[in-house]
Structure 1
Amino acid sequence: MHCFSGEGYKIELDDTSNTVRMSGALRLGGLSEYAPISELLENALDGREALIIDLSALEFLNSSGIATLSKFVITARNRNDCRLAIQGSNAIAWQGKSLNNLKRLMPALELNFD
């Protein structure tokens, strides 16, 4: 398991379940501060047939974070070697609209809401 955290958030990559879990509130300042997260996500695609991004406990993601997630989805689409699924929560307001927009970037993206 690979894990890192910062003020108010935690990100874990669980290799056994092929899942990246994000929780808390991500309010990093700009794309450069999101670079380590972007790198973790892109590296998580390597050697996997499927990857789940579990955002169901991510209460807040700012616009730079949404841009980072969008770029990652485009990377996954272009690589076309790993199925991608995103798990969200209906209880968290920002997720419905923002995550549904990712389907436009990658029609094969599997979106699940609890």
Structure 2
Amino acid sequence: MNSLSGEGYVVELDADRDTVRMAGALRLGGLSEYGPISQMLESALDGRSHLTIDLTGLEFLNSSGIATLSKFVISARNRNECALLIRGSNDIAWQGKSLNNLKRLMPALELQFD
């Protein structure tokens, strides 16, 4: 399992399950600090027909993180080779509106709320 972690967060790629899991609170300062996470997300698309992004444990994501996630969704749409599922939680307020907005960027995106 490939993982990144920092103060209050963890991002893990579970290659066997075709899943990237993000948990905790991501408050990194600007898009450049999200670079390693962005690279992990991009590389997770390589050679996969489907990928799940599990955000059910991600309690907070700042605007730079939402921008990073949006850029990733656009990249997945443009590559058009990998079906994308994003799992969110009904119990985490920011996820409802923010994740639904991603459907505008990639209509084929599947959203699942637990």
Would you say how many aligned residue pairs link Structure 1 and Structure 2?
A: 114
Matches within 5 A, 1:94-109: 94-109=94-109
The alpha-carbon deviation at position 4 of structure 1 amounts to 1.4
Report the 3-state secondary structure (helix = DSSP H, G, I; strand = E; otherwise coil) of the residue aligned with 1:47: coil
- Structure 2 counterpart SS, 1:33: helix
Following the alignment from structure 1 to structure 2, what is the Cα–Cα distance between the partners of residues 51 and 40? 12
The amino acid of 2:47's aligned partner reads G
Counterparts of 1:33 and 1:13, CA distance in 2: 18
TM-score, normalised to structure 1, is: 1.00
User: Structure 1: 5+ residue runs without aligned partners?
Assistant: none
Q: Which residue of 2 aligns with 1:5?
A: 5
Task: Report matched runs for 1:1-114 at 5 Å.
Answer: 1-114=1-114
Task: Work out the CA distance in 1 between the residues paired with 2:68 and 2:3.
Answer: 18
Asked whether the equivalents of residues 4 and 37 of structure 2 are also in contact (C-alpha less than 8 Å), the reply is: no
Q: Provide the rounded CA distance (Å) in 1 between the counterparts of 2:113 and 2:16.
A: 22
| Alignment-mate amino acid for residue 85 of structure 2 | A
Query: TM-score, normalization: structure 2?
Result: 1.00
Aligned-residue RMSD, C-alpha:
0.3
Q: Provide, for residues 15-62 of structure 1, a one-character-per-residue CA deviation record: whole Å limited to 9, x for no partner.
A: 010000000000000000000000000000000000000000000000
> In percent, how many aligned pairs have the same letter?
77
**Where do 4+ consecutive residues of structure 1 move more than 2 Å?**
none
| Greater fraction helix | 2
CA distance in 2, matches of 1:35, 1:15: 20
**Structure 2 gap segments, 5+ residues each:** none
State the SS of the aligned residue for 1:108.
Answer: coil
* Cα separation, 2, equivalents of 1:58 and 1:71: 18
